[in-house]
Amino acid sequence: MTLLAEAPRSGYDLERAAAERRLRNWTPLGTSSVYFLLDSLVRRGLAAARERPGKRGPRRRVCALTARGRAALDAAVAGAFADVRGPAAEPDLALMNLYRAPGFAASLAGYARALEARLAETRRARRSAGGGPWALAPRLIFDRHVAFLRAELGWSRRARRALERRSR
C-alpha cells in the first residue's frame, strides 16, 4: 500500500519498485503475491483500478489508493508501534515443554546456526541496499532485523549454556 500511496502503479510497476528497492531482501514478496494483493485491495475498496495502454506491450491495470485505502494505510502506520509486542509464542511453548527432551540442546544449537546465517545474509542485504530518495526506510528495516537477530542469537547462546550447566 505504501508504494501505491506514492503513485498509482500497475503490478509490473510494483514489481520494478520492489526490485529497485530490494524489498525481497527483507520480506517474502512473490510476483504472484503482488497481483493477488492488488486484486484484494480493489475488491475491498482500498484501491481503484483503471486500464492504461502499455508502452510497448499489453494494456496495464493501474491501481491507486482510494480515500478509504489511504485511511487504512494511515491507521496501520499509526498503529505499527503503538503496542509493544512480545516474542512469538511457539518457542515459548517449546521451552516450557521440551527443554528436558533429548536433542533439545542440539535443536537450540541448530537454531543459533540458522540465526547466524540469517544475520550474515541480512547484513549483506543492508550493505547492498543502495541509495536514492527511498533508501532510509529499507536501512531502518534492515537495522531493526539485525537488532532482533543479534538479540535472539545472544539469547539462544545464553539458553544453551544454561542447559549445559543444568545437565552437568
- Domain at 2-79, CATH from 1.10.3720.10, 3.100.10.10, 3.40.50.300, 1.10.10.10: 1.10.10.10
**Residue in the block written with cell 538479540:** 151
Instruction: Check whether 87 has a pLDDT greater than 80.
Output: no
Percent of the chain with pLDDT over 90: 23
Greater model confidence, 90 or 134: 134
Total H helices, total E strands in the chain: 7, 3
Nearest to 87, CA basis, from 149, 137, 157, 23: 149
Phi, psi of 52 (to 5 degrees): -140, 150
pLDDT given for residue 83 in this prediction: 61
**Number of neighbouring beta carbons within 10 Å of residue 59:** 10
The pLDDT tens digits for 61-73 are 999 999 999 888 8
